[in-house]
Amino acid sequence: MAGNAMKKANRYAQIMEEVFFLHYREGATEVDFERAEFQSVAVKLNIKLPLNLGDVIYSFRYRTSLPDSIMAKAPQGTVWIIRPIGKAKYRMIAQKETPIVPNTLLAETKIPDSTPGVVSMYSMNDEQVIVHSCGNL
């Protein structure tokens, strides 16, 4: 399989996938899990445990898509979303897919850039760059 080997999923995806399939039952539209499970799953998969377990959840809620193997289990016309249901407890819910698209009939309002020059000069494209650029203030 050399050369054509599939790229191995990152550790967040591997952990989330394992936790999902521990609880998923065929046809389910809700899957509950707890953040504490990540530790035993990481050990089982021989993966270094992320220092910030909450970032695993945050990543899949706001930054990246769930693994394809999980998305494939969502019923037709739905996608999985992650909702908190208690302290370090979560529920994946199959929710109707509602793509967000701009309304072309609305007027565009241009807003002048009022970013202070010193901020623009040292900023790149990341909201955290200011912290790194300023050093020890």
CB 15 within 8 A of CB 42: yes
Q: In the 8-state DSSP scheme, what is residue 40? A: H
Identify the pLDDT of residue 5. Answer: 45
Q: How far apart are CA 108 and CA 59, in angstroms?
A: 31
Per-residue pLDDT of the chain (137 residues; tens, 9 = 90+): 444 445 667 999 999 999 999 999 999 999 999 999 999 999 999 999 888 999 999 999 999 999 999 999 999 999 999 999 999 999 999 999 888 888 888 888 888 888 888 777 777 665 555 455 555 55
Q: Of 2, 43, 38, 45, nearest to 20 (Cα)? A: 38
CB burial string 45-54: b at 16+ within 10 A, e below: eebeeeeebe
Identify the pLDDT of residue 127. Answer: 55
Q: What residues contact residue 92 under an 8 Å CB cut-off, 6+ apart? A: 20, 30, 31, 32, 33, 70, 80, 81, 82, 83
Q: How far apart are CA 17 and CA 29, in angstroms?
A: 16
Instruction: Break the chain into its structural domains and give their ranges.
Output: 11-96
pTM assigned to the model: 0.67
